[in-house]
Each structure stands twice: as structure tokens, then as C-alpha cells.
Amino acid sequence: MDKKTIANLLEEKHQNLFNWLENQDDEKWQKSPKGKWTTGQHSLHLLQSIKMLNKGLSMPKFLLKYKFGKANRDVRDYNTVINRYQERLKNVDTNAVFSPSRNMKTPALNEKPSIINKLKNENKKLQSKLNKISDKHLDTIILPHPLMGKMPLREIIMWTAHHVEHHTNTLKDKY
């Protein structure tokens, strides 16, 4: 998948989430099905995730290569990445949850506009960073994912679009 298509996918998936969040009653922000995250926690989790990715993408490329290595395989297509993620989710262990999202606080209702605005800004940052990274680096530099292992940048950015869709669908189905 080329950079423009990935950027469009990120925008589409985030916009679907934002539309859903902005049309929900405020009371749902802090309510959840028994034992599940609240809408606010889903939103905060997505914010934490994309911020960490943007932080990683801000690091010098030589440092990422040194710390995590280089890809030793071809980049997988979007559907393959998503199918692998769905398979891994079936056997997920609570320890595989992104560490900042473990024992996450429930954001207060007055934090909702801030979290949504920060998520919008981080999405724009990610799209901008994506457009500035060379195709060679997108395909060869890797970052670790808590559930998927090491992934080339192109894959982890495509996965991010799906991650937003996954949480949006969960919210639509359960809330």
C-alpha cells in the first residue's frame, strides 16, 4: 500500500471514530459493559498508542535500526497484517495489552474534548511523518508491537488505521 493510500486510510478510520464519538451522549463516556473499557478509556488507549508511534517515528532512523534492527522479510499487505492481528487477538493475554493502557484510569467527562482534539492532532502528525519517510525506510526499519512483534514501519502504520477501526467497531457494537 502506498503512502497516499495509507494516509487516506488513517484519515478515514479516524474520522469515523470522531464522528461516532461526537454523536454519543456524554453519559456514555464513563460507562461501559461489565468488565470492559469505557468509551473514554478506548479513546485514551488510541491516543496513547498513536502518541507512542509518533514518538518512535521522531527518532533518528539510524537509532531505530540500531535499537530494533532491520526487516528481514518483505512487507505484508494490509489484509495480511489485519488477519494476523485478528488471529493474535483470539489468544491475547492481558500482558500483551500496550503497557500504558494497563490499569488505565477512566477519563472524566471534562477530558473528552481534550482527548479527542489530541487524537486528531496526533493523527495529523502521523500522516505528516508518513509522507516524510522514504519508501525504503518504511519497508526496512522496524518497530516493536506488543502483540505482533517487530513490524516494518509501513505495516505498523497500516495496522494503526485498523486499530482505530477495531476500537470504533467495538464501541459501535457494545456501547
**23 with 116: CB under 8 angstroms?**
no
Euclidean distance between CA atoms 59 and 144, whole angstroms: 14
How does the average pLDDT of the chain come out, rounded? Answer: 93
Enter the pTM of the model. Answer: 0.92
Q: How many residues does the chain have?
A: 175
pLDDT score for 96: 53
- Band of residue 170 on the pLDDT scale cut at 50, 70, 90: very high
Euclidean distance between CA atoms 141 and 148, whole angstroms: 15
pLDDT score for 99: 61
The long-range contacts involving 19-23, CB below 8 angstroms and separated by at least 24 positions, are 20/168, 20/171, 20/172, 21/112, 21/116, 22/116
- Band of residue 32 on the pLDDT scale cut at 50, 70, 90: confident
> Which amino acid, one-letter code, is at 85?
Y
pLDDT score for 59: 96
Euclidean distance between CA atoms 75 and 9, whole angstroms: 17
pLDDT score for 67: 96
Q: Helices 39-58 and 112-132 meet at what angle, rounded to 10?
A: 30
Q: Lowest-confidence range among 16-30, 66-80, 90-104?
A: 90-104
- Tell me the three-class secondary structure of 124-166, residue by residue: HHHHHHHHHCCHHHHHHEEEEECCCEEEEHHHHHHHHHHHHHH
Residues 155-174 have a mean pLDDT of 95
- Band of residue 100 on the pLDDT scale cut at 50, 70, 90: low
Q: Quick one: CA torsion of 21, 25, 30, 32, rounded to 10 degrees?
A: -80
pLDDT score for 34: 81
Q: Which of 59, 49, 48 is nearest to 142 (CA)?
A: 59
With 90 as the cut, is the pLDDT of residue 60 above it? Answer: yes
